[in-house]
Amino acid sequence: MAIENTRLFTPAAMGAVDRAAIDGSLSGPGLMERAGAAVAASALEHWPGLKRAIILCGPGNNGGDGHVIARHLARAGVPVERFGMKPREGTDAAWAFESFPGVIAALADYRPEAGDLIIDALFGAGLDRAVPDEIAKLIERAANAGTPVLAVDLPSGLSGYSGRPTGPCFRADRTVTFAALKTGHVLLPGRDLCGELEVVDIGIPSRLLANDDPVVLNDPSVYGTTSPAIDASSHKYARGHLVVFSGPLISSGASRMSAQAGLRAGAGLVTVASPPGAVMAQSAHLTAVMQRSVGDADALSDWLKDDRLAAFVLGPGFGHNELVKDYARIVLEAGRALVLDADGLTAFADTIADLSSFDAPKVLTPHEGEFRRLFPDLLDDDALSKIDRARRAASRVNAIVVYKGADTVIAAPDGRAAINCDAPSKLATAGSGDVLAGIVGASLANGRPPFEAACAAVALHAEAARRAPDHMTAEDLIAAI
């Protein structure tokens, strides 16, 4: 997916852009004409052997695009049949239909045949509920027949806002959308339901393609580079000292993975802070990573007098330990950056908002289950997208929230959000989260601002996974950083 504009729009924000373009010099039919022509060109390019174009037309402007597509394909010599409904009078879609009048058959009459391509122009940005029964049945018939689907703007049935289906939904082979990506194209399962994504320029001036909602794809325009800046004058303390808290002997491996990942990701020094009972086990494993015995809150407070300790990772393998809350508070009171992950998050299940009073940089890295434990009300609110859930969580805790998954969302309390879309599925492996926590810690130790640090870390984690072998373990992932 090669996209120049990395800004993401909700369908409502895109509608406002369309209206601004139309209030300016562009006409609605003009936009629709370019949209339809682009989809027809995509159909011809990607399905050169198509025998029949089945154009499913809805009542609104998505259907209007469908009538333009029908005209272009018919002119190119492709047999075209339209199913669906006529547009409402006096709309741009009615103009599109008038420009190529003809028969529109009932949706129930469509029977898939070999060589068909379904062009789905039923609903796009205006979808606001489950599709009616006759469309659900058609979706099922097409899926059973294996008929390929080219979706106009969005597969019908998919919310362009949340990326979640409102009910039955087309699974498209390809989706052609206009001017910019919508959030529903990149959030799961939307990203899978769209198939290949194509964003086409329909002439909306780029100065209008701005909005007040700072949601973007996670790419270098957000974080610069994924590697720390190392020049001839940089020494290890300049790149920051990262500390990873170890749990008890039995679960000490997780902290080692965070620590080794942090060292590889560019922290100048990394120390594992171990409870006395785990020191021997850690010593047997650690080489470049250093170790210190830290058994209680007093020992930590004392160590923090060393102001070179820049960032701390608390949680991986830490266990259900009452020390979590004390350690988090002591680190934050000392003004040091803190990454809370795994058991570090679970310990705060009912009290996470208490952390909001600390100004020191904080990054929380919950996966779906941890997010549910911390923010059950946000997960239960079906009206919210994953982006808005992450943003509300970030503002509640006054922290950066890295809401993990194959569509990781990084959100800041000020409303900035980035979605990472290029993580390979092999990242779903044991220890992968510990590795990410360590990379975030390194990125903070380097002195980056916390939102940029988290975005860079998520990108580097995905980049390392792409380089790692197919059946990688977390150790392979660390080696690939």
Ligand X SMILES: NC(=O)C1=CN([C@@H]2O[C@H](COP(=O)(O)OP(=O)(O)OC[C@H]3O[C@@H](n4cnc5c(N)ncnc54)[C@H](OP(=O)(O)O)[C@@H]3O)[C@@H](O)[C@H]2O)[C@H](O)CC1
Q: What is the CA radius of gyration of the chain?
A: 26
Report how far residue 25's alpha carbon sits from residue 229's, in angstroms, rounded to the nearest whole number. 46
From K ion, ligand X, none, interface partner of 32 (C-beta below 5 to 8 A by class): ligand X
Instruction: For residue 149, give both structure tokens.
Output: 């689907």
Q: Does 456 bind K ion (CB under 5 A)?
A: no
Q: Does 187 bind ligand X (CB under 6 A)?
A: no
DSSP label of 470: T
Q: Does 120 bind K ion (CB under 5 A)?
A: yes
CB 222 within 8 A of CB 216: yes
List b or e across 109-144, with b for residues whose CB sees 16 or more CB atoms inside 10 angstroms: ebebeeebbbbbbbbbbbbeeebeeebeebbeebee
Q: Does 178 bind ligand X (CB under 6 A)?
A: yes
| Least Å from the CB of residue 149 to ligand X | 15
| Least Å from the CB of residue 160 to K ion | 10
User: What's the helix, strand, coil split of the chain in %, to 5?
Assistant: 45, 15, 40
Please identify which residue in 153, 407, 434, 452 interacts with ligand X, judged by CB under 6 A: 153
| Least Å from the CB of residue 191 to ligand X | 17
Q: Does 42 bind K ion (CB under 5 A)?
A: no
Residue 83, helix vs strand vs coil? strand
Q: Does 203 bind ligand X (CB under 6 A)?
A: no
Residue 269, helix vs strand vs coil? strand
From K ion, ligand X, none, interface partner of 128 (C-beta below 5 to 8 A by class): ligand X
From K ion, ligand X, none, interface partner of 33 (C-beta below 5 to 8 A by class): none
Number of residues that bind K ion (CB under 5 A): 5
Sorted by sequence, the CB contacts under 8 Å of residue 17 that are 6+ apart come out as 9, 179, 180, 204, 208, 209, 211
Only one residue has tokens 């640090």, namely 453
Please identify which residue in 56, 179, 209, 263 interacts with ligand X, judged by CB under 6 A: 179
List b or e across 373-410, with b for residues whose CB sees 16 or more CB atoms inside 10 angstroms: ebbeebbeeeebbbbbbbbbbbbbbebbbbbbbbbbbb
Q: What is the CB neighbour count within 10 angstroms for residue 330?
A: 19
Binding to ligand X by CB under 6 A, coded x per residue (else -) over 34-53, reads -x------------------
Residue 149 pairs in a beta bridge with 118
Please identify which residue in 26, 152, 289, 323 interacts with K ion, judged by CB under 5 A: 152
From K ion, ligand X, none, interface partner of 60 (C-beta below 5 to 8 A by class): ligand X
The interface with ligand X within residues 244-263 (CB under 6 A) comprises none
Q: Is 404 annotated as a binding residue?
A: yes
Binding residues: 61-65, 120, 124-130, 153, 156, 254, 317, 367, 404-408, 433-434
Binding site for K ion (CB under 5 A): 120, 124, 151-152, 156
Binding residues for AMP: 404-408, 433
Binding site for ligand X (CB under 6 A): 14, 18, 31-32, 35, 58-65, 123-132, 152-153, 178-179, 202
